[in-house]
Amino acid sequence: MPAEEQCRNKEWQNRYRNGFFLAPMVRIGTLPFRLLCLEYGADLVWTSEIIDKSIVGATREVDEKSGVISYIKRDKDVFTTHPSEKEKVVFQLGTADPDLALEAAKTVEKDVSGVDLNCGCPKKFSVSGGMGAALMSDPDRLCAILEKLVQGLDIPVTCKIRVFDDVDQTLRLVRRIAATGISALTVHCRTRAMRPSEKAMWYRLNDIVKELPDLPVILNGDIFEHSDVQRARDETGATSVMTARGAEENPSIFRVQGKLSVMETAVALTKLAVQTSNVFINTKYILLKMYPDTKSKSFEILNKSRSYKQMCEAMGLTEYYETEGVHLIHERSEPSKTRIKPGKQPQATENACKRKSEEQDKIVAQDSNSAIPEEPAKTGTVQQAVPQQGSGSETNPELAETTDVAEAHAAK
């Protein structure tokens, strides 16, 4: 390997060393949440899984007011980012096809710091297409995809897997993966069949770290406090650590100084969502998942909100919305009832949207009171900053308003 290429690869690997990262989480890891985690100290942030066909063919648009970069397809935001996270955001890709994988990755290459292949998600919407954890059972295909990405991109390529029950089978797989030239490997320390309630098997990482002495190995699983980071590294030899559920519960987990109150982080998230004109239903979903008191009047008001105006009122940000927010939210971000399709009667459209919204709220509220899903201060203004990710052939679990909320809890 030429000296210049060796130097570049070492530099890329160093990006994944000694860090505390935000894991990919369906519906949660959209732009405002990523930006908030970066503000609180996350070293790198992963997007939610985005399926190859969802992003291929998307149109790239830049909002002049906010600087937000949106990849839009069929009038929906498939992926949204901002220049402020350019050096910190890792694009997680769902794919089962080497050529489609490269085409998808090339689409966003100039706006992200790296591409990560999802080989760990056990959920039906991912494995049914041969993606996610299904790739672990097809190592030839998995490695063909990684080789295609490594050879075709000018940014680092990484991979996220789970472990097999059999230790030797796991080690054989990681050796093959490492040989493709990736810059780092993330290991979710659970098997495909294990659920979030089952303790992550940190000890399984020790053999992998020893097997891959030169490759950064990132631990994922059961990181709920900042103090867990060093403990996990000490016990396993992991190069870095990644959290999903810990950040979902309170994104200020990344603060070395200690966590802020959940409500403080929720207010900060709301402001960032407005500044980035995040899709309303996604912002509402995240807030309801974060909200500490689901029995409170304010939670009820938030749950009934139908627009950013009402959401800001529920979060005590009425003045902020009226003075700043109203000028930042674009039409595509608000609920569909604000847009009347040609040939439809306004009242009929509004009634239909109201019924749909009420059904969604029931699901989201029920889900917000359910068990926490698997791993998955001062808020700076995004140089004025729009988001969402995709999944399933061309469906996007981040934005699909009819997607079963339970599936949104799939941790990679």
Distance between CA atoms of 128 and 136, rounded to whole angstroms? 13
Q: In what order do the strands lie in the sheet with 69-73?
A: 59-62, 69-73, 76-81
Closest CA to 273 of 262, 282, 264: 282
Based on the residue annotation, tell me whether 312 is a catalytic residue of this protein: no
Closest CA to 158 of 1, 15, 5, 2: 15
CB 196 within 8 A of CB 221: no
Residues 6+ apart with CB under 8 A from 65: 327, 328, 384
Residues 6+ apart with CB under 8 A from 375: 23, 25, 188, 196, 220, 221, 222, 223, 243, 244, 245, 246, 411
Q: Which position among 37, 119, 121, 189 bears the catalytic label?
A: 121
CA distances from 212 to 11, 37, 207, 216, 217 (A): 17, 29, 9, 8, 8
Using the structure block, give the residue that is written with the tokens 């089952």.
198
Distance between CA atoms of 359 and 361, rounded to whole angstroms? 5
The phi, psi pair for 18, rounded to 5°, reads: 55, 45
The separation between CA 295 and the C-alpha centre of its own chain, rounded to angstroms, equals 28
Active site residues: 121
